[in-house]
Chains A and B, each alone.
Chain A
C-alpha cells in the first residue's frame, strides 16, 4: 500500500513537472521554430494567413495534450493535477518572460555602468540624491495620485448618473470611452496640438494659447486677439499690453501668470502654489482623459449589478440619493474600485509614450519609465537603468498588499 502511494506521489510529481515545464516548453519551442523557419520561405500573404490561423490555434494542442496525460494519473490526485495543468503554462510563461528578466534587473541594479563590477548601493544612493531623480520621483507621485483619483472620481460620477438615464446612456459612455481606443502616441499628438506654442508674431494655433491672447486691450486700447493671416496679409492683434502666449509644456511653475508674477518662492505663503508644476499636470491630464473611460465602464457594470430592490427599498424609506450612493452603492463597488485602482496604478507606472512624445522629460516633466530608458539608451548606464526600474517595482508593492487583503476578505465571505 505504501509503495503504491509512493509511486503515485512520484507519478503526480512527474505530471506536475510535465505540466509546469515540459509541455509549455514544447509549445514554446515548436511554435518558435516553426515560424522562424517558414518566415523567409513562403510568400508574405501565406505567412500572414498562417500567422493568424496557426499562430492563434496552436495553443489549444498544449492543453489537449496535458489533459490526456493527467487522465493516466490516479483519481485521487487528479484534482490537484488539473490545477497544475491549468495554471502551469501561465506560471511557466510568466517565469520565463517576466520573472527571470526581473531577477536579472535586480542583480544589475547593484552593478556598475556596464554591469561588470559590483558597486553596492551606489545606484540607490544616486536615485535618491540626484536632483533630476528627485524631481522624477515627485512627478511620478503626482501622476499616481492625480490619475488614479481623477479617473476614478469622474468615472464613478458619470457611471452613476448615466446609469439612470432612460436613453442616451450609450452615447455618453462611448464619448468618454473613446480615448481608450487610441494609442498614447495619438492622444499625445491631440493634446500637443491643444498646448501648441508659436513665438508671438505667429498665429497661435494651440487652443490654450488662443484663449490666452484673446481678451483685454493693448496699451493703445485696441482689443487683443489672435494674430491671423488673411488673404496673404498678416494682421497683428497681440501688441504690447496683451497677454503673451506661453509654452505650456515648459512651465514648471506659475510665475508666468499675472496673479503670481510678483510672488517669489520664499516670501509668501503662496509659495507652494507658485511651484505648482503646471506642465506635469497638463501631461497628466492626457492620461486622465485616456483612462477615465475605463474606470467609468467598469463602475457602470458594477452599479448595474446592485440589486434594484435594495436601492428602491432605500428610496421608499426616504433615504437621500447621496445616502443611497454612500451606504448602498459604495459597499457594492468598493472591491471594483480596488480593481480599477490596481489597474490604473500599474498603467501609470508603465506610462511611457505620453512623456516620450511630448517633452521627453525636459523641464522637469520626467517619469520613472522614461528616465529608465534614458539611463539605458542615452547615458548607457545599465546599473542605474535597472535601479530606476526597481523603484517602479517598489512603488507598486502597496497596491499588491491591498489586493492580497481583498482576496482574503473575498474568501472570508
Chain B
C-alpha cells in the first residue's frame, strides 16, 4: 500500500477520528480516576477540579480496591464465573457451527423453514422465555399430556446456566456463523465432496479450520455476553452466595442504594471490567480477522 498523500492522510480525517475516540474515552476517565480517590474527596471536589488543582496526587489511594477485593470472597465468584462462562461459550458454538455448516453447504428438505425458525427464535425476548425455562429445568415439560422432559431439578447447578445461555446464544451464533460459512469458497467444499469426504470430515477438516476466525470471533462475543450477564445467572444459579458469579457480586456492591458510595461503585465496576478487557485484547486479533473473513462475500 504505497500511496502518495491522499485525502485520508489529510488532517481533517484524523481530526474526525481523534475527536470521536476522545468522546468515546471520556466517560472512562473520570470514572477510573474517581476509583482511586478517597471516599470523601470524591464528594468534596469534582474530579476535573482536582486534576486542575493537582489535588489528585495527594488524595490518591488504593483503599477503595482493597475494600472491594478483600472484604469479600471475590475469588470464589471469579471461579464460579469461569465454570459458567467456558461451557456456556463452547456448547452453543459447537451446535451452531454444525447447524451453520448444514445451512450453508447441505441441501436438505425443509432447509428454508428450519433457517426461518432459527431467525425467528433470535427475537424471542430473553425475559419472555426465562420463567418457563426455569420451570422446564425443574419441573420438566408436558406436551399433550405426555411428559417429554422429566422432573430434573437442576436449577442451582452450573449445568442449568449452560443450557440457558446455549438457548439464548444459539440463534445469533447460527445466524452469524452461517453468514460466515456462506462466505467460504464453495468450490473448496464441493471438491472435497467429489473426493468422497463425508460431511463430518469436511466439517472438521475444512469448514471448521477455515472458519476458525469466525468461530473465535463469535466466541469472544459469547464470552463477553455471558461474563457480563447477571440476570440469567441470578435466576438459574439461584440465590445461594456459594454460586454467585462475579457480576452479580459486583452488581450488589455497586448498584446498591447505599447513599453516595461512589468510591465503592467506581472501584467495583472497574474490577468487574478487568477480565472482559483482558479477553478482548488477547483475542482481538482473532476477532477482527474472523470478521474480515466473514465479510468475504458479494
**A–B direct touch in complex (beta carbons closer than 8 A):** yes
Q: Is A193's beta carbon under 8 Å from chain B?
A: yes
How many chain A residues sit at the interface, stated as a range, is 35 or more
Residue of B nearest to A54 (CB): B87
Residue of B nearest to A368 (CB): B125
Residues of B within 8 A of A369 (CB): 125, 127
Given A178-B277, A205-B262, A302-B295: A83 touches B107 (CB 8 Å cut-off): yes
Residues of A within 8 A of B133 (CB): 97, 101
- In the complex the two chains form, is B179's CB within 8 Å of A339's CB? yes
Q: Is A392's beta carbon under 8 Å from chain B?
A: yes
How far is A139 from B162 in the complex, measured between Cα atoms in Å? 33
- In the complex the two chains form, is A48's CB within 8 Å of B125's CB? no
- In the complex the two chains form, is A304's CB within 8 Å of B157's CB? no
- In the complex the two chains form, is A407's CB within 8 Å of B115's CB? yes
Residue of B nearest to A209 (CB): B46
Residue of B nearest to A394 (CB): B123
- In the complex the two chains form, is A193's CB within 8 Å of B30's CB? yes
How far is A113 from B196 in the complex, measured between Cα atoms in Å? 60
How far is A174 from B227 in the complex, measured between Cα atoms in Å? 19
- Per the 8 Å Cβ criterion, residues 96-149 of B in contact with A are 96, 98-99, 101-103, 106-109, 111, 114-133, 136-137, 141, 143, 149
Residue interface mask A310-332, B partner, CB < 8 A = 1? 00000000000100000000001
How many residue pairs link A and B with beta carbons under 8 A? The number is 362
Residue of A nearest to B289 (CB): A301
- In the complex the two chains form, is B277's CB within 8 Å of A100's CB? no
Residues of A within 8 A of B136 (CB): 96-97, 100-101
Residues of B within 8 A of A60 (CB): 94
Residue interface mask A33-49, B partner, CB < 8 A = 1? 11110010000010110
Kindly identify which residue among A105, A177, A189 contacts B269, using a CB–CB cutoff of 8 Å.
A189
Residues of A within 8 A of B199 (CB): 82, 86
Q: Is B192's beta carbon under 8 Å from chain A?
A: no
How far is A98 from B120 in the complex, measured between Cα atoms in Å? 10
Q: Is A194's beta carbon under 8 Å from chain B?
A: yes
Residue interface mask A292-307, B partner, CB < 8 A = 1? 1000011011101100
Residues of B within 8 A of A277 (CB): none
Residue interface mask B15-37, A partner, CB < 8 A = 1? 01100110011011011001000
Q: Is A393's beta carbon under 8 Å from chain B?
A: yes
Residue of B nearest to A299 (CB): B295
Question: How many B residues, CB 8 Å from partner?
Answer: 133
Residue of B nearest to A39 (CB): B157
Q: Is A248's beta carbon under 8 Å from chain B?
A: no
Q: Is B291's beta carbon under 8 Å from chain A?
A: yes
Residues of A within 8 A of B153 (CB): 36
- In the complex the two chains form, is A410's CB within 8 Å of B182's CB? yes
Kindly identify which residue among A94, A158, A332 contacts B171, using a CB–CB cutoff of 8 Å.
A94
How far is A157 from B119 in the complex, measured between Cα atoms in Å? 29
How far is A410 from B129 in the complex, measured between Cα atoms in Å? 32
Q: Which of B122, B123, B162, B170 has the most CB of A within 10 A?
A: B123
Cβ-closest 6 pairs across A and B: A83-B108, A97-B167, A183-B228, A86-B102, A101-B132, A101-B129
Interchain residue pairs with CB less than 8 A apart (29)? A28-B163, A33-B152, A47-B158, A81-B108, A82-B102, A82-B108, A86-B98, A86-B101, A87-B102, A100-B132, A102-B124, A175-B21, A178-B277, A181-B276, A181-B279, A182-B273, A183-B227, A183-B228, A183-B273, A185-B228, A189-B255, A190-B27, A193-B265, A205-B42, A207-B48, A289-B24, A357-B255, A372-B125, A396-B123
Residues of A in contact with B (beta carbons under 8 Å apart): 28-29, 31-36, 39, 45, 47-48, 51-52, 55-57, 59-60, 63, 67, 79-87, 89-91, 93-94, 96-102, 104-105, 154, 157-158, 161-162, 164-166, 170-186, 189-191, 193-194, 198, 202-205, 207, 210, 226, 228-230, 289, 292, 297-298, 300-302, 304-305, 321, 332, 335-336, 339, 342-343, 346, 349-350, 352-353, 357, 369, 372-373, 376, 386, 389, 392-393, 396-397, 399-400, 403-404, 407, 410, 413
